């Protein structure tokens, strides 16, 4: 449980911070697609005798960069993401065909198993999180500019496509981390739920990023506690509490609207 709490704290904080910009940019589909791409990378890595984590990282980062290069405008971006997702799912099906003797590992990749995280994995997650947070801090200001006013940013010499590629590479890195905690099928909820909840109750970017990270961490902690006492799957508990937080923030925003 100590390893689990350390792992979910690291991952939840970075997921909340990156997820805020992901929701702000309207690229939630990208997070969903990258999580499925990660499964392809993880199964491929296991087939050749490597760690699933490095398969996740390699495949998701490559796919994230590919999505950013293939299209920046909203319509182009959706097409690019759809193409990458379709190809990766097909490749994942091929790997899964040879993965049948590792059914337990496949289930763990799909749904996560935070209780199986060891000390070495925690340090790896910490290092990857530091890289992601530092990279996000470096590009945060121009990224916010190109996200809210892409035409003006382009006219000012701030290339939207370059920052899209860099941001999606960061998203891919964080997606690979989250998959270690809640699995590739539920990573979407951990990254998007807290960020969407934060944006419902605040308009400040700084406050929103911090609130998103805090909300994700609380969901992860309470999810582990609930899993410990109920014997339910930890991934389900984390995602369920994250969804409840979003509904609570929606109710708060609605009450504010009525008060006005």
Q: What is the pLDDT of residues 125-179, one digit of tens each?
A: 899 899 999 999 999 999 888 888 877 887 888 888 888 888 888 988 888 877 7
* CA 243 centroid distance within chain: 15
Hey, what are 19's tokens? 């997820």
Band of residue 211 on the pLDDT scale cut at 50, 70, 90: very high
Enter the pTM of the model. 0.82
In a domain, 248, yes or no: no
In a domain, 129, yes or no: yes
- Where residue 122 sits, what CATH number does that domain have? 1.10.3470.10
Q: Residues 53, 169: contact at Cβ < 8 Å?
A: no
Distance separating alpha carbons of residues 124 and 64, to the nearest angstrom: 20
In a domain, 54, yes or no: yes
Domain of residue 179 covers 2-192
In a domain, 142, yes or no: yes
In a domain, 242, yes or no: no
Q: How many domains does the chain have?
A: 1
In a domain, 178, yes or no: yes
Tell whether the model's pLDDT for residue 244 goes beyond 50.
yes
- Structure confidence by residue, pLDDT tens digits, 79-133: 666 776 777 777 777 776 776 655 556 566 666 677 778 888 889 889 989 999 9
In a domain, 211, yes or no: no
Please choose, from the candidates 66, 81, 243, 36, the residue with its C-alpha nearest in 3D space to the C-alpha of residue 165. Answer: 66
Q: Residues 179, 231: contact at Cβ < 8 Å?
A: no
In a domain, 230, yes or no: no
Please choose, from the candidates 53, 52, 55, 60, the residue with its C-alpha nearest in 3D space to the C-alpha of residue 35. Answer: 60
- Residue 3 CB neighbour total at 10 angstroms: 15
Hey, what are 137's tokens? 């801090």
């Amino acid at each position: 449980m100590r390893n689990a709490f350390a792992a979910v704290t690291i991952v939840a904080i970075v997921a909340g911070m990156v997820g805020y910009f992901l929701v702000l940019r309207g690229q939630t589909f990208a997070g969903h697609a990258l999580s499925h791409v990660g499964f392809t990378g993880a199964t491929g890595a296991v087939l050749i005798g490597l760690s699933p984590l490095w398969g996740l990282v390699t495949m998701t980062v490559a796919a994230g960069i590919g999505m950013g290069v293939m299209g920046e405008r909203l319509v182009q971006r959706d097409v690019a993401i759809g193409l990458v997702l379709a190809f990766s799912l097909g490749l994942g099906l091929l790997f899964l065909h040879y993965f049948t003797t590792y059914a337990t590992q496949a289930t763990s990749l799909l749904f996560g198993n935070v209780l199986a995280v060891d000390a070495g994995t925690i340090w790896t997650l910490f290092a990857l999180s530091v890289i992601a947070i530092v990279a996000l801090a470096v590009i945060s200001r121009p990224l916010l500019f190109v996200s809210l006013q892409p035409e003006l940013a382009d006219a000012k010499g701030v290339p939207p496509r370059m920052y899209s590629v860099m941001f999606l590479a960061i998203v891919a890195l964080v997606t690979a981390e989250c998959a270690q905690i809640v699995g590739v099928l539920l990573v979407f909820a951990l990254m998007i739920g807290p960020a969407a909840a934060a944006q419902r109750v605040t308009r400040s970017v700084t406050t929103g990023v911090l609130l998103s990270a805090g909300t994700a961490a609380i969901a992860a902690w309470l999810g582990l506690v609930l899993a410990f006492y109920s014997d339910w799957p930890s991934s389900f508990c984390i995602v369920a509490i994250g969804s409840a937080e979003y509904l609570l923030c929606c109710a708060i925003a609605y009450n504010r609207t009525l008060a006005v």
